[in-house]
Structure 1
Amino acid sequence: MIKMKCVISFGTDGWRSTMDTDFTVQNLAIAAQGIANYLKSHQYDKKGILIGYDTRKNSQLFAEEVAKVFVGNGLKVILTDTDAPIPVVTFGISDKGLDGGVMITASHNPPEYNGIKFIPYYASPALPDVTDPIMDEIEKIWEKPTIKKGALEHVEKVNIKQRYIDHVFNIINGENIKNTGLNVIFDALYGTARTYMPELLKKLGVKMEVRHDYLDPSFGGASPNPSKANLREVSETVLEKGFDLGLACDGDADRLGVIDDKGNFLHANILFALLLEYELSQGKDGDVVRTVGTTHMIDRIAEAHTRTVYETPVGAKYIGQYMREKKLLIGGEESGGMIFREHIAEKDGIFANLKILEMVSYYQKPLSEITADLFKNYGDIKFTLINFPCKEENKEKAMKNIVKILPKTVSGKIVIKTTELDGFKFVLEDGSWLLIRPSGTEPLLRLYGEAGNEKELTAILEEGKILLEQAQK
């Protein structure tokens, strides 16, 4: 009998798959046993492991399955008493000084997906030096399944919501927000932020309308992603009712979405740039980190304030690592996650939304005007990410082929710098750039581009498409 290849794989941010194929109770138990083996072999088995879960179908059941495996392996297990945002679980690990944690979530993926993410003791996304040995353990168990399980009666239930809310309230500038009299609409997208954001907004004296703040494992038939398309109704409501802002979080609340007072959806690149300029304008000390696929407006802002910018591969784990090790001021990525020094070393959409409110309150201007000022000072940006289907087994071949056809010019502009930090990035003489990289979580090749206007961006992307086509031959 031929043994099926292991379907479990920890990619950019844990393991995710569809519940009708690979993400089953049986396979999850194997993943949990692999994590338990890792924890015990590295002596992370004394202080306790916190388990949380999102609002997806079966997430609580999956969390309980992981808990049973951990109990069976002699670990002290703490389980959230209801669904919880991943930044809250991460905060709980740090707050309680635990050995680590597990989150059952597929983040912003479609409703048929679920996933598992391991969070180490340092309360930040796990790096390869953690996930690689976990995968080694999982592959051993896959070949010869040996899974220990215990009873849920040995699991401690905990609610860490109030501790988190008190922490956030203590580090946000609440007085400015209270005195501004903001009126916002918040879309919870049926996710884990549905009780946290309204409570914090109320505590901060913000008038609000809340949408989709109830459980719906199908997420209204869409992905719980705070994208422009998913926030169209919020945008329309901002205009119709005169809200100052529209805010949203994704399913596990590590990303944010923002609509300004004119109903415009603001890309995560712009939000990151806005908050970086705001933080540095406060006279705060510290450098910044961004991923290879994030806007270079960050570099222009940092240069104006004589700050250093660090560039990492795509993935919050690398942002978190730099934030922890270098004590940086702020870090972010184009996909909508930001990390702040005064908070946890994990993306937090709830906290980032509150920082947007804090910024608007400080400037005493509508967000649209603050954004216009940013573009006036640092130039406009046009940014696009395009996904191209590519089978997993063909990704490596395509990237190797690009080495043979590296361009010296793109759209008539000289390539002044080529980096291979994560895929291939071509920086052009006018500051625009093109990036081709394989997705770490899906069977895709990703094409990123940034330029000063739409015409230039289109020209750059067209050449990028040609490069991809040649690489896949």
Structure 2
Amino acid sequence: MSILTIPTQPFSDQKPGTSGLRKKVPHFQQQHYLQNFVQSIFDSIDVPAGATLALGGDGRYYNREAIQIILKMAAAHGFAKVLVGQGGILSTPAASCVIRKFNTYGGIILSASHNPGGPAEDFGIKYNTANGGPAPEKVTEAIYARSREISQYRILDAPDVALDVLGLSQLGDMQVEVIDAVADYADLMAELFDFSAIRALLASGFRIKFDAMHAVNGPYAREILVNRLGAPADSVMNAVPLEDFGGGHPDPNLTYAHELVDIVYGEHAPDFGAASDGDGDRNMILGQRFFVTPSDSLAIIAANATLIPAYRNGIAGVARSMPTSAAVDRVAAALNIPCYETPTGWKFFGNLMDAGKVTLCGEESFGTGSSHVREKDGLWAVLCWLNIVAVRQQSVEAIVRAHWAEYGRNVYSRHDYEALPTEAANGIMQHLRAQFGTLPGSTLGSYQVASCDDFSYTDPIDGSISKAQGIRLLFTDGSRIVFRLSGTGTDGATVRLYLEAYEPDAARHCLDAQDALSEMILIAGQVSELHARSGREQPTVIT
């Protein structure tokens, strides 16, 4: 086996987005494209002698081919060992768990998260650092800078590695160990949660339905919910990971998880429903005919954290992405703990967790997690809810309504306008920025604008600054409208519109969010010229 040095030329489009580099599969299949990016990673992280790398993906189309390329390149760059998930598969939270448990020099995760998979669909790659979390911007910027000047890459000339059988093999001077990450992850969950209480809840007749959406979490859910907690086998649906996710869109929301939604809102509905996404880091929580917004889920987990063994002694602090509702802020104030507001992207939570500033983090985009790993974690959130229900002996809906009664309700919705022409999406944002001088102090319907800005964040740990993270219209009553361009899609541009109003009156807590926010929705459309500029009368997805 010899190490080959292959001449190449830079690609201009390898700038990582919110969570790594995402493109269509045919784009990644271009000659040298993946290799260039992997070489740029290795050139940017100064691989020490004897280092171990974690490697795996969500099982989508092109995962196996990419794994083989990365293994051979790792062998050409001095890694002593690579830990790879069986079949090349690792959920994103399990990858973070493996990085931390085995003290690896970070890991490479292959996923386009909640985006569709298949020969003509999406693929992605990102590097996570040794703390188990997504690389911070200073690292991704270095990778991008390197990708623009690369002239060659190194790769071992060797046969493919067997990925389906557990155990060790040799690749040049490097060891490859195929591991059972499901067991490692399940063991960690057993340390955090009261499995005995959850097991008793399920044995009492409490029925659950978990939709793995033919994505990576199927085996993890089976091991934990069925094998360890005793749920009936049919409690986990769409449990077999498929390269194209069964033709579905593995995004756990009311639109794309409609099969689960129909069950939970239908006759003989289970008591609890949940779903996770392509790589297992997002979650949707449902009660019987009742949807829990991700923002409320974070707040309720924070308010009830001491019911969970891992957090029995309290939590240090909480953090949320800027577009996430302020529901958790109210909990933090009541608990007298800090609450941090960051840009969208889990990478912004890493420094706060490493510094011990926060224990729980969340995003409105169905991501919730804690300091047990450095990624958001879909099954962790599901287990939080099951643990809380088991202790409180109340339904999901009753727990949410009791929370609203105590803290008030942050009525919240997100409208996604997907796959817009990039020029149109940028035009909407530019039109909003052009009004920064005139909007403050103006009256829009029954709302008065207090301020508007383009959100900027200064990291309290390392002082790094992230600008232009979303446009905020803040009203005098605490309500707000947020516009943001998504950084996770691969097809055109997505404009996300976030709407939030605080409702302290319990008599109005039963209102449908779209009805309660109807005036604000009209105002958002008018001030942004969203419909005229996008050519869309309705959003693609409403959550």
Instruction: Check whether TM > 0.5.
Output: yes
Q: 1:86 aligns to what?
A: 92
Q: 1:244 aligns to what?
A: 271
* Superposition deviation, residue 355 in structure 1: 0.9
Indicate conservation of the 8 Å contact 2:104/2:130, yes or no. yes
Indicate conservation of the 8 Å contact 1:234/1:259, yes or no. no
The reply on whether 1:435 has 2:482 as its aligned counterpart is: yes
Indicate conservation of the 8 Å contact 1:47/1:97, yes or no. no
Q: Tell me the amino acid that sits aligned with residue 136 of structure 1.
A: A
Q: 1:133 aligns to what?
A: 142
Q: 1:354 aligns to what?
A: 383
Q: Tell me the amino acid that sits aligned with residue 59 of structure 2.
A: T
The 5-angstrom pairing of residues 37-436 of structure 1 reads 37-40=43-46, 43-44=47-48, 46-76=50-80, 77-82=82-87, 83-111=89-117, 112-141=121-150, 144-151=151-158, 152=161, 153-154=170-171, 155-159=175-179, 160-181=181-202, 182-201=206-225, 202-207=227-232, 209-238=235-264, 239-260=266-287, 262-279=288-305, 284-341=314-371, 343-388=372-417, 391-392=421-422, 399-406=429-436, 407-408=439-440, 409=442, 410-419=444-453, 420-421=455-456, 422-436=469-483
* Superposition deviation, residue 271 in structure 1: 1.5
Q: Separation in 2 of the partners of 1:415 and 1:426?
A: 7
* Superposition deviation, residue 217 in structure 1: 2.0
* Superposition deviation, residue 357 in structure 1: 0.6
* Superposition deviation, residue 391 in structure 1: 4.7
Indicate conservation of the 8 Å contact 1:425/1:435, yes or no. yes
User: How big is each residue's C-alpha offset from its partner over 1:18-56, in whole Å with a ceiling of 9 and x where there is no partner?
Assistant: 11234546311111111111123xx44532111111121
Q: Tell me the amino acid that sits aligned with residue 385 of structure 2.
A: I
For the residue of structure 2 that corresponds to 1:437, the secondary structure is strand
Name the Cα RMSD after superposition: 2.5
Instruction: Give me the TM-score of the superposition, normalised by structure 1.
Output: 0.91
Indicate conservation of the 8 Å contact 1:7/1:22, yes or no. no
Q: Count residues with an aligned counterpart.
A: 465
Q: Separation in 2 of the partners of 1:135 and 1:297?
A: 36
Extract unaligned runs of 5+ from structure 2. Answer: 1-8, 162-169, 457-468, 504-512, 535-543
Inter-CA distance 345–301: structure 2 relative to 1 (3 Å threshold): same
Inter-CA distance 236–385: structure 2 relative to 1 (3 Å threshold): closer
Q: 2:537 aligns to what?
A: none
Q: Tell me the amino acid that sits aligned with residue 305 of structure 1.
A: L
Q: Separation in 1 of the partners of 2:327 and 2:277?
A: 25
For the residue of structure 2 that corresponds to 1:148, the secondary structure is strand
Inter-CA distance 316–461: structure 2 relative to 1 (3 Å threshold): same
* Superposition deviation, residue 99 in structure 1: 0.7
Q: Separation in 1 of the partners of 2:298 and 2:134?
A: 19
Q: Tell me the amino acid that sits aligned with residue 305 of structure 2.
A: E
Inter-CA distance 237–463: structure 2 relative to 1 (3 Å threshold): closer
Instruction: Give me the TM-score of the superposition, normalised by structure 2.
Output: 0.80
* Identity value in percent: 25
Q: Tell me the amino acid that sits aligned with residue 65 of structure 1.
A: I
Inter-CA distance 234–455: structure 2 relative to 1 (3 Å threshold): closer
* Superposition deviation, residue 134 in structure 1: 0.9
For the residue of structure 1 that corresponds to 2:61, the secondary structure is coil
Higher mean C-alpha deviation, range 24-33 or range 152-161: 152-161
User: How big is each residue's C-alpha offset from its partner over 1:315-367, in whole Å with a ceiling of 9 and x where there is no partner?
Assistant: 111123322224312110001111213x1121111111111110111111111
Inter-CA distance 394–33: structure 2 relative to 1 (3 Å threshold): farther
* Superposition deviation, residue 390 in structure 1: 5.1
